[in-house]
Amino acid sequence: MDRNTPVVQLKGVGEKTQKLFEKLEIWTVGELLAHYPKDYEVFEEPVKISRAIPGELCAVCAAVTGIPNEKKVRNLSILNVDLSDDTGSMQLTFYNMSFLKKVLKKGGFYVFRGVVQTRGARRLMEQPRYFTPEDYYKKTGYLIPRYSLTKGLTNQAVQKAVRQALDSCSFENECYEESFLARYELLPEKAALEAVHFPADDAAFQAARRRLAFDEFFSFLFLMKRNKAFSEKLPSHYQMMETADTVRFLEQLPFPLTGAQKKVWNEIREDLGSPYCMNRLIQGDVGSGKTILALLALLMTAANGYQGALMAPTEVLAAQHYETVSEYVKKYGLVFRPVLLVGSMKAAEKREAYARIASGEANLVIGTHALIQDKVEYHSLALVVTDEQHRFGVRQREKLAGKGIQPHICVMSATPIPRTLAIILYGDLHISVVDELPADRLPIKNCVVNTSYRPSAYRFIAAEASKGRQIYVICPQVEEGELEELENVVDYTEKLRSSLPPELRIAYLHGKMRAADKNRIMEEFAAHAIDVLVSTTVIEVGINVPNATVMMVENAERFGLAQLHQLRGRVGRGNHQSYCIFVSTQEKKETMERLQILNKSNDGFFIASQDLKLRGPGELMGVRQSGAFSFRTGDIYTDAGLLGQALEAVEELLKEDPGLEKPKHALLRKRLSDSASNSVDFRTI
């Protein structure tokens, strides 16, 4: 058995489980091993009831003191169980788990694990997990992996499959030399995979993570450094002239550019007119007005008779850019002949788009990464702008170069990246910063609250809606088979309908919906046919509905600060006072303190720096969701040192054996070319 063996050949993985794994994009043993845990569970020693801290996840070992008492409320069975030990008592509540009446015996000792709540002086737990003490003690002292799942697939099943894969997969030899591993203090790959799935302790996990993150950085940097477009100043094939179009457009815009926008527009203009190919990163906080800059650059391109492309990470955002441009064309008579190209379009629509692009009839192509796929042939592509793309992939650029073109590149991002890191990650690029918000903006008013504030929040939402404003409510992602306690978009929408005035138009949006439906809902919201939009973070990036003034984020503690800041950036985009309500279901001190940072500041750069301070190095994968640079394991900020080491290693290797032709590099060559073809540079949300 090796990495390419299909998972169905593992014992215990039948056709049914295989189908479930496929939903997680796992077909082979190698892919299964690369399905790293999203976090780990630690079964801590049980505590006495009196030491169980309200608001925290605890395990108590205690005796059931009475016969479980069941009540029926409509379809719901509510089972109450009393517990006590020598320090106090506690009540447990289970929903729709009638069978526990027979399992939990009066006088029996069990371990219950759940979040401790209080009602008056009483301690409670709802829906705790229960164990016999023997079972529980078997689990304590380990880090137990928790995987992303899909409905029907249990964590246990994934664990078993991974265990078997680790035991029976014959790994080819290590791709790095021994001296290399020693020099960079890296675990051998097999040991790293073992320890990332089943770490003995935190130190073992950190060591595993280090190796996996190094691999990721190493292959990324190797591919980038080998590609001249990233490391050398290239002559421009499309040296442009300034035309009256951009000047006229600026005169017609209902607002003047901010000083920062003017400065950056000058830089872009110079790049496009210079004898060298543009390679520029534009950083600017949410709402600083980056879109106009992209449109100006694209307008100059079109006016010079070339094609430009605007690439967005989601279809929703691409569709919105397309709408904006179409409107501008109508209003201001711009020379754009735009075309939209996204994955969810019908085959016939796509064919038509391809034809318009190939003939040059379309001079502005707006879309997702669909617009750089093989089928798309450009007539005269001179500029590619990527919006909210934190990493314009090596492969993307190779693809463009492979088509015989070397367009100007402009990457726009709201994520603050320090200069030293940006140079490593983007190669030889220039950086522009839009460090000023339009003057008409009122600072967003924030509050961080607990769930008891919900009724007031709903009243506030109703009041804003009655003034003609619109509202976002964010719930964590819909992921089946886990996180039952989290507010789920669909259920939440129902609940909200019953709490808000009936005339309000409420709709929901989540990542599992068909792209066409997502686009339709987003268009309706933009057109104010919807008042309240309940959504997962699909709307996180880039969406612009200036009439929206309230952003309410449920389970705010689940999000990274940078991500919350992005979410908040969806409001405060017009001249109305805007509000952001962060609802935390956890009242832990650290959680509240972390969220208070958002309360104090609306400045994305400040928040990112605070976020960094709070996050220790090597946090678990999947915990942080800031969306910056889609490395799976490595974190460009906290692993900046490792990134530097990977860069050093790559540079040495390129000096010694640039083509990886030496026999000792054969395996490495294979691994790097595999990772080049597998790497997903674009994450669609």
| Residue from 275, 338, 568 nearest 447 by CA | 568
Binding positions for ligand ADP, rule: CB under 6 A: 255, 257-258, 261, 284, 286-292, 438, 440, 542, 544, 546, 573
- For residue 261, the partner it binds in Mg ion, ligand ADP, none, with Cβ less than 5 to 8 A by kind, is ligand ADP
CB of 477 to Mg ion, least distance (A): 22
The helix (run of H) or strand (run of E) holding residue 341 is: strand 338-341
CB nearer ligand ADP, residue 546 or residue 644 = 546
Is residue 569 at the binding interface for Mg ion, with CB under 5 A as the rule?
A: no
Binding-residue pattern over the window 420 to 449 for Mg ion, x denoting contact by CB under 5 A: ------------------------------
CB nearer ligand ADP, residue 573 or residue 615 = 573
CB of 519 to ligand ADP, least distance (A): 18
CB nearer ligand ADP, residue 55 or residue 438 = 438
Listed in order, strand segments (DSSP E) in 467-568 are 470-474, 506-509, 532-535, 548-553
Closest-approach residue to Mg ion (CB): 542
CB of 388 to Mg ion, least distance (A): 6
Give the DSSP letter of residue 274.
S
Judged by CB under 5 A, the stretch of 330-338, 538-546, 613-621, 644-652 that binds Mg ion is: 538-546
CB of 416 to ligand ADP, least distance (A): 13
CB of 569 to Mg ion, least distance (A): 9
CB of 474 to Mg ion, least distance (A): 18
Judged by CB under 5 A, the stretch of 171-179, 535-543, 614-622, 627-635 that binds Mg ion is: 535-543
Classified as helix, coil or strand, 533 is: strand
The helix (run of H) or strand (run of E) holding residue 521 is: helix 515-526
CB of 324 to ligand ADP, least distance (A): 8
- For residue 645, the partner it binds in Mg ion, ligand ADP, none, with Cβ less than 5 to 8 A by kind, is none
* Residues with Cβ within 8 Å of residue 661, at least 6 apart in sequence: none
CB nearer Mg ion, residue 49 or residue 412 = 412
- For residue 586, the partner it binds in ligand ADP, Mg ion, none, with Cβ less than 5 to 8 A by kind, is none
Q: What is the DSSP pairing of strand 506-509 with strand 532-535?
A: parallel
Number of H helices, E strands in the chain: 24, 22
Count other C-beta atoms under 10 Å from residue 501's C-beta: 12
Is residue 542 at the binding interface for Mg ion, with CB under 5 A as the rule?
A: yes
The helix (run of H) or strand (run of E) holding residue 88 is: strand 88-95
CB nearer ligand ADP, residue 245 or residue 388 = 388
* Residues with Cβ within 8 Å of residue 238, at least 6 apart in sequence: 272, 301, 304, 306, 382, 383, 407, 408
What SS3 string covers 70-126?
A: EEEECCEEEEEEEEEECCEEEEEEEECCCCHHHHCCCCCEEEEEEEEEEECCEEEEE
CB nearer ligand ADP, residue 32 or residue 533 = 533
Backbone angles phi, psi at 583, to 5 degrees: -100, 120
Q: How many residues bind Mg ion (CB under 5 A)?
A: 1
Q: Which two tokens stand for residue 353?
A: 């788009």
Is residue 145 at the binding interface for Mg ion, with CB under 5 A as the rule?
A: no
Closest-approach residue to ligand ADP (CB): 289
- Taking the CA atoms of residue 588, residue 593, residue 599 and residue 603 in that order, the dihedral angle to the nearest 10 degrees is -140
Give the DSSP letter of residue 6.
B
CB of 316 to ligand ADP, least distance (A): 13
Give the DSSP letter of residue 335.
S
- For residue 440, the partner it binds in ligand ADP, Mg ion, none, with Cβ less than 5 to 8 A by kind, is ligand ADP
CB nearer Mg ion, residue 542 or residue 604 = 542
The helix (run of H) or strand (run of E) holding residue 159 is: helix 155-168
- For residue 28, the partner it binds in ligand ADP, Mg ion, none, with Cβ less than 5 to 8 A by kind, is none
Q: Which two tokens stand for residue 30?
A: 């190698």
CB of 533 to Mg ion, least distance (A): 18
Q: How far apart (Å, rounded) are the C-alpha atoms in residues 197 and 416? A: 32
Interface with Mg ion in residues 216-245 (CB under 5 A)? none
| Residue from 223, 171, 177 nearest 664 by CA | 177
CB of 329 to ligand ADP, least distance (A): 15
- For residue 427, the partner it binds in Mg ion, ligand ADP, none, with Cβ less than 5 to 8 A by kind, is none
- For residue 438, the partner it binds in Mg ion, ligand ADP, none, with Cβ less than 5 to 8 A by kind, is ligand ADP
CB of 249 to ligand ADP, least distance (A): 13
Strands lying side by side in the sheet with 532-535: 445-450, 579-584, 548-553, 470-474, 532-535, 506-509
Count other C-beta atoms under 10 Å from residue 185's C-beta: 12
CB nearer ligand ADP, residue 254 or residue 275 = 254
CB of 172 to ligand ADP, least distance (A): 46
Count other C-beta atoms under 10 Å from residue 301's C-beta: 27
- For residue 287, the partner it binds in ligand ADP, Mg ion, none, with Cβ less than 5 to 8 A by kind, is ligand ADP
Note the residues at the interface with Mg ion (CB under 5 A).
Answer: 542
